[in-house]
Structures are given as structure tokens and as C-alpha cells.
Amino acid sequence: MDKKNYFLSITILGALFFIFGFVTWLNGTLIPFLQTACELTPFQASLVTLAFYISYFVMALPSSFILKKTGYKKGMSIGLFVMAVGAAIFIPAAYSRTFLVFLTGLFVLGTGLSLLQTAVNPFITFIGDRESAAARISIMGICNKIAGFISPLILYSLIMNGMEKFSDEKLKLLTPEAKTQLLDELAARIVGPYTVMAIGLLLLAVLFLIIPFAKDISVEEEDASSIKDFLKQIPEAIKFPQLTLGVLAIFVYVGAEVMAGDSLTQFGKSLDLSYAGKLTSFTMAFMVVGYILGIVLIPKYLNQSKALRISAMLGVVFTILAITSSNTSASIFESLFGWINNISPAINIPLIPNSVFFITTLGFANAIMWPAIWPLALHDVGKHTKIASALLIMGIAGGAIIPPFYAKLGQEIGFQTALWIIVPIYLYLFYYAAKGFTLRRSKL
């Protein structure tokens, strides 16, 4: 691929990763919003992440087969169109205030993203030198997490203003009719933002068909004339231990990432933090810092496996600090970032409690993990790259399973204590970075 096409492709991929992040990290604001609007328990609200991320598990293999039939360009356009449909479903969901319809829209959004991610991740991995793959994915990650920083703030400003009048205490004082009317008013706030999103995604789907784009990656692929033939490749692909262990690594990593991003808002809500819906943006800000470091350090100073080992150990340290720190004192955040409000009070950054602060720093620990796991897991799988990528995408289902488990456990023993479930996740990721990715078929 010549330089002109290479940079054009990188730019287009960066735009797609921005879209991924913008849509994905809205869930952190949606969880407390829907918990109030649809009168849900924390566990029921956590089904937002289940509906969204389980679509990756359900649709990853079909998405990979679709890409074999349509090619990357048309496949990505189809993915954008499906996402537009998912966003449009939020309109009847809001007017009916029916949580199941909201979940349907989230599942359809995730389906479109699954198709896009199945295409984009192997492309960005193999578009250049393998050792610099983590750095390229880090660039994509910056696009993703900058969008993830912006989108919760935008949605929060549009739908979460004046939430004081929707507190449980005030709602209990209303008659059933007045309460229904007020919650209908709240749910309707989401119509405008998701209508704009649906139109924007539809326009992008059309635009994507006419813009120039590199047609394929330089990896020999096994042909599959039918879905049956395609599925026959799975038993052969899972014989690669670096891949199967990598799928598990993606599964637990995404679960931890979603807990640190989206589920953090539930922790904040349990502490009665009025700005709980904004907390995802703090995690995303730390992830951006981590991605920037990844670009600088990998592969010049750190290889991908060492970067993953360091990140995993930071995850253990930050999690333990989050569990053992105060839920009321904001001394650490104030000492580090309080000066920003002194310079410009108009910014008005909330001083978040120490325990919550250390959860947001997991964004920094998590940043390099996705970029490092992908190339490690796909190395030496050869003609099975597409099916291997689909299996890795299926691993994103960790975001569907682990956060609801955390929410249920948090209801029982407290959200802070429930954070202990993240520690073994990071220990496994350390094992994968130290040993798991080096295993090959001859060692089975």
C-alpha cells in the first residue's frame, strides 16, 4: 500500500474508531438515566451493558461471514446502517418508556458495531509492521476514547440537567399520575439526541460507499462459500492457544473496562453523587493519557507483552486502592486537579471521592490492553485471521456478563467491596502477557 492510501486509510479508520467510542461510552450516562426514567434497580439498569455487549457474541461470527461476502467497504457501510436503525429504535422506546425496547435498540446498535469492529481491528493490525501494531491501535484508541470523553458529557448536558426533581424522595411524594407524567417528560429528553445520531449514522453509511478506501489486508484467508463452511474453520482456529487464551483475555479485559467506565456511574449513584452520569468521562480521560504513552513507548521502549504486564499490575494496585480508600474524602483528586477550578471556576470540575478516583485511574491501566492483546492473539494464525478476529470480537461479551454480575453483587455487599472481582481479572491478564501468548500448537 502506498503512503497516500495508507494515511487515507488510517484517517478513515480513526473516524470509525471515533464513532465506536461516541456510541459505546454513552452507556455510562444511559444507565443512571434509564434507572430513573424506567424505575429500575441497579441490576436491571446494568442490563444496558448486557444488551449492548452480548450482541458482539451473537453477531461476531455472522459479521465475519458477511465481510467475506461483501468485503470491508460494503460491510462497514452495512454496519453503519444497522447502527442508524438501532439509534432510531430509541424514539419509540422513549415515548413508550419501555425498557425492553431500549434494550432492543442497544442490541441493534451493538450489532452494527460488531460488524464494524470485526472488519476494522484486523485491518489496523496488519496494515503495517506487526511490532508497531499496538501503537497504531493506540492511535485508534485515542480517537475512540476522546469520543468516549466527549459523548457522556454531551448526553449528560442534554438529558440529565435538573435531575434533583427526579430523586426517589421527591418522586415518592407525587401521585401516580403526576409521577408518570414527570417520568414521561424525562424519557422524552432522549428523543432529540438519538434522532440526530440516527440521521448522522445513515448519512455516514451512504458516504462510506463513495469514499476511496483500501480494499483488503495482506493476509491470506481461507475461502468459505457458505456459513457452514465458514463455521468449520472454528475447530481449527481454536487449536491456537495464543488465540483461545487471547479470547479469554479480551473477555475479562472488556468486563473490567466496562466496570471502570459504565458501571462506575452506578457506584457514583449509590454514593448519591449528583454528577454520577459524568464519571465515565473521567475514566476516558485517563485512557487517552494511557494511549498517548502507548504511542510514545511501543515498540521503541516497550514491547507489547511487557506493556500488558505493566498495565495488569497497575490494574491490581489501582483496584486495591479503590477498595481501601475513602468514599467521602476527595483529598487525592483535589490535591492533583483542584488547581484547575482555581484557575477557571467556570470549568467547575467536581471533586470526586478517593475511591471513585482510583476507579477512574483504571482507565490508564486499561488503555494499552486492547492494543496489546489483539496482535499477540493474532500472531501466527495465518489464514485463520478473519475467524480468529471474529472469536476475539465475541470476547467483548465480557462487557455483557461481568458488569451485571458486579451490579448484583454491589446490591448485596456494596459497590466498593464488590470491586474485588476485578483483581483476578488483572492477574489473568498478567499471566497472558507473561506466558499465555507464547504458547503454540506444538505445546497442546
pLDDT value at residue 326: 95
pLDDT value at residue 444: 41
Closest to 124 in 3D by CA, of 243, 201, 13: 13
pLDDT above 80: residue 440: no
pLDDT above 50: residue 220: no
- How confident is the model over 338-346, as a mean pLDDT? 72
pLDDT value at residue 168: 79
Question: Would you say 117 and 393 are in contact if contact means Cβ atoms under 8 Å apart?
Answer: yes
How many CB atoms within 10 Å of residue 320? 15
pLDDT above 50: residue 219: no
Side-chain-facing half-sphere of 257: CA atoms under 13 Å: 30
- The structural domains of the chain, with segments of one domain joined by +, span 3-209+234-438
In angstroms, rounded to a whole number, what is the distance separating the alpha carbons of residues 373 and 152?
Answer: 27
Mean pLDDT of the chain: 86
Axis-axis angle for helices 398-413, 241-261 (nearest 10): 50
DSSP string across 327-345: SS--HHHHHHHHHHHHH-T
pLDDT value at residue 361: 95
Length of the chain: 444
Q: Residue 366 has which C-alpha cell?
A: 486499561
pLDDT value at residue 171: 84
Quickly tell me which residue has 457458505 as its cell: 226
pLDDT value at residue 345: 62
pLDDT above 60: residue 226: no
- How confident is the model over 107-118, as a mean pLDDT? 88
pLDDT above 90: residue 349: no
pLDDT value at residue 38: 93
Which CATH number applies to 3-209+234-438? 1.20.1250.20
- How confident is the model over 84-94, as a mean pLDDT? 96
- pLDDT tens digits along 263-295: 899 999 899 888 888 899 899 999 889 888 888
Collect all residues with Cβ–Cβ distance below 8 Å to 218 and sequence separation of at least 6: 126
Q: Residue 41 has which C-alpha cell?
A: 434497580
pLDDT above 70: residue 106: yes
- pLDDT tens digits along 355-413: 999 999 999 999 889 888 988 898 888 777 778 877 888 898 999 999 999 999 999 99
- Which of 129-133, 148-152, 298-302, 378-382 is the least confident region? 129-133
Give the residue with greater pLDDT, 416 vs 13.
Answer: 416
Question: Would you say 370 and 304 are in contact if contact means Cβ atoms under 8 Å apart?
Answer: no
Q: What is the pTM of this model?
A: 0.83
Collect all residues with Cβ–Cβ distance below 8 Å to 56 and sequence separation of at least 6: 110, 113, 114, 117, 393, 394, 395, 396, 397, 399, 400
pLDDT above 70: residue 128: no
Closest to 46 in 3D by CA, of 431, 402, 314: 402
Choose from 71-75, 248-252, 262-266, 438-442 the range with maximum mean pLDDT.
248-252
pLDDT above 60: residue 208: yes
pLDDT value at residue 215: 52
- pLDDT tens digits along 35-58: 999 999 999 999 999 999 999 888
- Of the pLDDT bands very low, low, confident and very high (cuts 50, 70, 90), residue 218 is very low
pLDDT value at residue 228: 67
Give the residue with greater pLDDT, 212 vs 382.
Answer: 382
- Which of 55-59, 165-169, 419-423 is the least confident region? 165-169
pLDDT value at residue 227: 62
The span from the first CA to the last CA of the chain, in angstroms, equals: 37
Question: Would you say 416 and 263 are in contact if contact means Cβ atoms under 8 Å apart?
Answer: no
Q: Label residue 15 exposed, middle or buried (CB < 10 Å: 0-12, 13-18, 19+).
A: middle
pLDDT above 80: residue 126: no
- Of the pLDDT bands very low, low, confident and very high (cuts 50, 70, 90), residue 304 is confident
Percent of the chain with pLDDT over 70: 89
